[in-house]
Each structure stands twice: as structure tokens, then as C-alpha cells.
Amino acid sequence: MTEDSGKQGDAGGADGGRLVRIDLDEQSTARRSPEVERERAVAIFDLLEENEFRPAIEHLGPYHLGLSIEENRLVFDIKNTDDQDLYKFILSLSPFRRIVKEYFDICESYYQAIKSASPSQIEAIDMGRRGLHNEGSEILRDRLAGKVDVDFNTARRLFTLICALHVKM
């Protein structure tokens, strides 16, 4: 799956330290529910609209990002806008396993609650869901330290995409 914002900037322009395209390896994912697919699409759209993404490399951006899972590891493949390789690194998925599982469990509860629960019950579940999402985002920011600087909202949206890739695990 490839999503492109259509925005192109020069190395010194406003788009410099940002993502302008995201490629999710569809081989890394399994079939997703409509809710998960919708969250993935919204995360990509929001991420391309607004993000801070500064890899620990000399190139100033903007960047294309490929995300995939290879041999149970998360692969970040960063390229320039001409699709030339700039920086590729791999993160262990182990630190994400618990939080992703809990996040999917609470998301399932949330989707079920929307159908029949009271507004206060839905709100309580949603607060828990947002809390887990924030926790996963902080884990991601910690794991990216020294490799890529991202703001909190970018980390949140990337965490959503990592969850989409995790579905197959």
C-alpha cells in the first residue's frame, strides 16, 4: 500500500524534516477488519498532512518511508523523494507485543461497545484505548531515539501503522 501526499519540498523547504509518502508492505499484513483498515487509512492521511520526521542522517528530507515486518522485526526503510535508499534500520518487535495485544483487545471491546453500550461506557473504554495508544507511542519514540526524531503525534500515527502490520503476528 502506497500513500503519497503529493507535496514535494526541497531540502531546505518547509517539507524538509517530514514524510511525504508511506509504503506499507502488504505482504506483512493479514486481512484487516473494516475498523482497523479505517484507522490505518486515517493514520496515513493524518501523518502525511502533518508530521515531524528527522532521521539521524545528513539528508534533510523530505522522505519516503517503507514499513514492513521481516523475520519478526520491524523494518524502517527511509528513502528520498527519488526513491533512493538513505537509511534502513530494524527494530525488535518484542517491546511492542504486549501493548499491541492489549491495544487490539481494547479496540475490539470499543467496537463492540459502540453497538450497544451506554455513552459513558463507550467513553470509559475509549479513554483506556487512548491511554494504551499513548503508551505504545511513547515506547515507539523511545525505540526510535538516536535513529529518528519524531513528535508525539507522528509517533501516535506510526504506532497505528505498526499495529496494522502486527495484525499478522
Q: What is the tally of structural domains in the chain?
A: 1
User: Does the pLDDT value for residue 48 go beyond 80?
Assistant: yes
Domain that holds residue 16: 2-166
pLDDT band of residue 84 (cuts 50, 70, 90) is: very high
Distance CA 133, CA 136 (A): 5
pLDDT band of residue 13 (cuts 50, 70, 90) is: very low
Mean predicted confidence (pLDDT) in 51-74: 93
pLDDT band of residue 7 (cuts 50, 70, 90) is: very low
Mean predicted confidence (pLDDT) in 74-99: 95
Question: For the chain, what percent of residues have pLDDT higher than 70?
Answer: 85
The answer to whether 166 and 67 are in contact (CB under 8 A) is: no
